[in-house]
Amino acid sequence: MASKVLVLGASGTVGRPLVRALVAKGVSVKAASRSGAPIEGAEGVRFDFGDPATYGPALEVVDGAYLLAPPARPTCPAGFCPSSRRRRRAASRSCCRP
């Protein structure tokens, strides 16, 4: 199975170029943003730090994640860190370190 990475904040000034660069390198990308719109060759998924219902679908079937948190949220919100072992491993490279 090919790996897929999640980019949280994919529509921002840093996230959009990151998505483009990853896609150009042949990486399968899930681009998370509040709108959920796809971004240049990446699968779009809705994600909002203020809406815990969006966490599961964003983290589903990803092997890694880039967290580009909004300036007002330097850390993960309560409840964001995933519960499954695979999801913890994917998120451990971002903000969810114990």
Given this model, what pLDDT does residue 68 score? 78
List phi, psi (to 5°) of 4: -135, 135
- Listed by start position, the domains of the chain span 4-91
Pick the CATH number of 4-91 from 3.40.50.720, 3.40.50.180, 3.30.70.141, 3.20.20.70: 3.40.50.720
H-state helical runs in 8-91: 15-24, 55-59, 85-91
4 vs 85: which has the higher pLDDT: 4
Tell me the whole-structure pTM to 2 decimals.
Answer: 0.70
Q: How confident is the model at residue 79 (pLDDT cuts 50, 70, 90)?
A: low
- For 8-67, how does the pLDDT look when each residue is reduced to its tens digit (9 = 90+)? 999 988 899 999 999 999 999 999 999 999 998 999 999 998 899 999 999 999 998 898
